Amino acid sequence: MAGTGVVAVYGNGAITETKKSPFSVKVGLAQMLRGGVIMDVVNPEQARIAEEAGACAVMALERVPADIRAQGGVARMSDPQLIKEIKQSVTIPVMAKARIGHFVEAQILEAIGIDYVDESEVLTPADEENHINKHNFRIPFVCGCRNLGEALRRIREGAAMIRTKGEAGTGNVIEAVRHVRSVMGDIRLLRNMDDDEVFTFAKKIAAPYDLVMQTKQLGRLPVVQFAAGGVATPADAALMMQLGCDGVFVGSGVFKSGDPARRARAIVQAVTHYSDPDMLAEVSCGLGEAMVGINLNDKKVERFANRSE
């Protein structure tokens, strides 16, 4: 790969190389999370259960997405005290959510020293037009996407990890699958495209040309891509892995189920052995109740994924 005149890979800071910390270090942590499961937790006890089950990181928040849906109101960044308590109770990385565009919430989260910030559509957006300029931060960000264009826009803003938006808090994996297939489908299309056509394609998906070209050459997104939004069972997790994701976020799916510790362990196993059906069958047995979930045919269900572009 070196010296082939190829569009720059990491560390060349194409446009906005930050002085704060090299992009490669930010992405490095995401690469260490590959093949793992990141679980939503609302208190230190749940965090310990997640760590014991084999989660590779936890997402600390006050309310899981299913509860945010049920209770309504404005969902904001969690109390830093809670996040600090969760951070102290585990040794694995801790992530927390900030509202879209709310860079001060991100500054606060960076100040309390957690490992990753999720600029999340699950919380009520603070800025309808703009996302946070993630290059201004030392802390890495993970952002959601529904399609390739969105993913590349977030990466250009400085996201070091991408997840699908799915439809969080519904326990319904249909949207996550839709988003992964959209991203992967566009990448497949891109790979076979004539180089001259990439300019128009970049315009069409409203993504920066250099990242589109880089994606074309790599044959995948330039950062780690996780699945998120509605994963409720080991089979769901393995499905997302087989569709091409590098790992899985599980939110309401674990702690809203009948036997969280067991389900958490099963999902961790499923992500490691995602292409081994015998193993998947074994871990899916006797898990108790999954979260009930929401059927998305109901028009009254709010679509978090459509909150931002």
Partner 1 sequence: MVVGVLALQGSFNEHVAALRRLGVKGVEIRKPEQLQNVSSLIIPGGESTTMAKLAEYHNLFPALREFVKTGKPVWGTCAGLIFLADKAIGQKTGGQELIGGIDCTVHRNYFGSQIQSFEAELSVPELVSKEGGPETFRGVFIRAPAVLEVGPGVEVLAEYPVSSTSVLYSSSAVQIQEENALPEKKVIVAVKQGNLLGTAFHPELTSDTRWHSYFMKMGSEAQEESPSSIVPVGGVDPSFNEKARIDLPIYQ
- Non-local (6+) Cβ contacts of 71 within 8 A are 63
- Interaction pattern, residues 147-186, with partner 1; x per rule: CB under 8 A: ----------------------------------------
The two most distant CA atoms of the chain are separated, in Å, by 55
Nearest to 141 by CA among 129, 150, 131, 126: 131
Q: Which is nearer to partner 1, 25 or 292 (CB)?
A: 25
Task: For residue 40, say whether it is annotated as part of any ligand binding site.
Answer: yes
Distance CA 19, CA 11 (A): 12
Residue among 87, 97, 134, 256 flagged as catalytic: 97
Whether 87 is catalytic: no
The residues in 219-238 that bind partner 1, with binding defined as CB under 8 A, are: 219-220, 222-224
Q: How many CA within 13 A on the CB side of residue 161?
A: 31
Considering the rule CB under 8 A, would residue 303 count as an interface residue with partner 1?
Answer: no
Is residue 11 left, alpha or beta, with left meaning phi > 0 and alpha meaning psi from -120 to 50? left
Q: What angle do CA 134, 27, 6 make, to 5 degrees?
A: 100
Q: Which is nearer to partner 1, 68 or 271 (CB)?
A: 271
Q: Exposure pattern of 11-30 as b/e (b: 16+ CB <10 Å)?
A: eeeeeeebeeeebeebbebb
Amino acid occupying residue 265? R
Applying CB under 8 A, does 272 fall inside the site for partner 1?
yes
CA distances from 299 to 64, 121, 285, 294, 295 (A): 22, 19, 33, 11, 10
Least CB distance to partner 1 at residue 93 (A): 6
215 binds partner 1, rule: CB under 8 A:
no
Residue 251, annotated as binding a ligand = yes
In the list 39, 41, 69, 93, the residue contacting partner 1 (rule: CB under 8 A) is 93
Q: Which of residues 11-70 bind partner 1 (CB under 8 A)?
A: 11-12, 21-22, 24-25, 28-29, 31-36, 48, 51-57
Please check if 252 is assigned to a binding site.
yes
Instruction: Cite the annotated binding site for D-ribose 5-phosphate by residue number.
Output: 40, 169, 230, 251-252
Q: Give me the active site residues, please.
A: 97
Site for partner 1, rule CB under 8 A? 1-2, 8-12, 21-22, 24-25, 28-29, 31-36, 48, 51-57, 87-94, 110, 113-116, 138-140, 218-220, 222-224, 244, 265, 268-269, 271-273, 275-276
